[in-house]
């Protein structure tokens, strides 16, 4: 089944309005994504348990790093699953709409150059390495004879449809490929009832603009340095402590809880996790000038949390 703009309108086309809304198969992507989330949460939980079980050492410090790696990965996987949850394709006489999380394309019917199975384009590649997995195929790749292809799909090339719009190529995976291609063909035959402007929107986390804002960059760097410096201080100044250390106070200010020294590593880990979360949500807010003050507030908050963790460590160690 091939749909191209060379096909002529059929008789009675103005009386017929072909339309189809479909969502890609999502079960496999959700199952694997949920499994990845479980593994990341297990890694974070296991690291926290290890920190409370021994003396301060360079090896124990590695358990601080693991959660700080797992946390951004966890955010990324959840974001990918959000995109999968919202994924849909819609075709009617006016055009094709592709929705995937914060990314969407509105392609007027007259700009569709060709819509066909991936095999017809001699394309059998998956996206380049990135944050995708079987059942959630998103990313891009340079394909020979086509150029860059964007993927918003859930299945492999055998069940993909490639949409060519002028010099752009997008790979999608409607649940029923034959029905989808038939709907595209009918829409092309009949022509548009109305016209609209082509729209292609991708999420913008403002990384490039952040680099040119000295105040924002200073806040982000300072917020990140505080937990790193705190971890280094613990390892260099009090590394090798075998005796329990203070880890809590009663209402009079006297020590009422002793814990293994390794538990102190929870404090730089908390500061680091706070910095990562504030960085992520701050970049989200920073995209628009109206929300930019909220971004600054989040990054200042990360600095405050880091300062509080420093104060807590110095207080706890000074009470031994």
The pLDDT score that the predictor gives to residue 31 is 97
Decide if 238 contacts 261 (C-beta within 8 A).
Answer: yes
Asked if 24 and 87 count as a contact pair (C-beta separation under 8 A), the reply is yes
pLDDT averaged over every residue in the chain: 84
Element (H, E) at 153: strand 147-153
> What pTM, to 2 d.p., does this model score?
0.77
How far, rounded to the nearest angstrom, does the alpha carbon of residue 154 sit from its chain's CA centroid?
A: 16
Per DSSP bridges, beta strands 137-143 and 95-100 are: unpaired
pLDDT of residue 14: 37
* Res. 302: pLDDT tops 70: yes
What pLDDT was estimated at residue 56? 66
Split at pLDDT 50, 70, 90, the class of 11 is very low
pLDDT value for 61:
72
Evaluate the CA torsion angle 294, 297, 302, 305 in order and state its sign.
negative
Tell me, what's the pLDDT at 8? 36
Total Cβ atoms within 10 A of residue 304? 13
Percent of the chain with pLDDT over 70: 83
Residue 33 has pLDDT above 60, yes or no: yes
188: nearest Cα among 37, 52, 2, 58:
2
* Confidence tier at 1 by pLDDT (50, 70, 90): very low
Sorting pLDDT into bands at 50, 70 and 90, what band is 172? very high
Reported as a pLDDT band with limits 50, 70 and 90, residue 205 is low
Beta carbons of 112 and 186 less than 8 angstroms apart: no
How far, in Å, CA of 97 to CA of 176, rounded?
A: 16
Contacts with 38 (C-beta within 8 Å, 6 or more apart), sequence order: none
Relative to beta strand 199-201, strand 168-172 is: unpaired
pLDDT at 320: 52
Please determine, for residue 83, whether its predicted confidence score (pLDDT) is greater than 90. Answer: yes
Res. 41 pLDDT band, cuts 50 70 90: very high
CB 111 within 8 A of CB 165: yes
User: Which of these ranges, 96-110, 112-126, 231-245, has the smallest mean pLDDT?
Assistant: 231-245
Most confidently predicted of 37-46, 55-64, 212-221: 37-46
Percentage above 90 pLDDT, the chain:
48
CA distance 256 to 175: 61
Q: What phi and psi values does residue 174 have, to the nearest 5 degrees?
A: -60, 150
Please give the angle made by the CA atoms of 160, 33 and 48, to the nearest 5 degrees. Answer: 160
Q: Which residue has the tokens 């700080």?
A: 68
């Amino acid at each position: 089944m091939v749909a191209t703009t060379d096909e002529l309108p059929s008789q009675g086309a103005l009386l017929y309005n072909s339309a189809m809304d479909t969502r890609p198969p999502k079960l496999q992507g959700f199952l694997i994504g949920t499994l990845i989330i479980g593994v990341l949460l297990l890694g974070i939980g296991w690291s926290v348990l290890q920190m409370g079980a021994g003396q301060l050492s360079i090896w124990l410090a590695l358990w601080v790093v693991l959660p700080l790696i797992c946390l951004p990965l966890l955010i990324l996987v959840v974001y990918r699953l959000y995109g999968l949850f919202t994924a849909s394709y819609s075709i009617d006489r006016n055009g094709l709409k592709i929705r995937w999380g914060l990314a969407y394309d509105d392609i007027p019917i007259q700009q569709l150059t060709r819509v066909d199975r991936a095999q017809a384009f001699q394309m059998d590649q998956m996206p380049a390495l990135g944050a995708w997995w079987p059942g959630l195929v998103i990313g891009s790749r340079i394909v020979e004879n086509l150029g860059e292809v964007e993927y918003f799909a859930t299945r492999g090339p055998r069940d993909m449809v490639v949409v060519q719009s002028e010099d752009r190529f997008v790979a999608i995976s409607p649940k029923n490929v034959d029905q989808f291609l038939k709907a595209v063909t009918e829409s092309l035959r009949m022509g548009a009832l109305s016209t609209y402007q082509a729209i292609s929107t991708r999420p913008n986390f403002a990384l490039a603009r952040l680099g040119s804002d000295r105040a924002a960059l200073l806040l982000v760097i300072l917020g990140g340095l505080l937990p790193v410096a705190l971890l280094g201080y613990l390892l260099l100044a009090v590394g090798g402590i075998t005796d329990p250390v203070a880890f809590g106070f009663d209402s009079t200010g006297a020590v009422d809880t002793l814990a293994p020294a390794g538990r102190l590593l929870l404090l730089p880990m908390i500061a680091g996790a706070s910095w990562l979360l504030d960085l992520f949500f701050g970049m989200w807010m920073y995209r628009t000038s109206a929300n930019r003050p909220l971004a600054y507030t989040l990054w200042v908050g990360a600095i405050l949390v880091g300062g509080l963790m420093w104060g807590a460590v110095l207080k706890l160690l000074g009470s031994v």
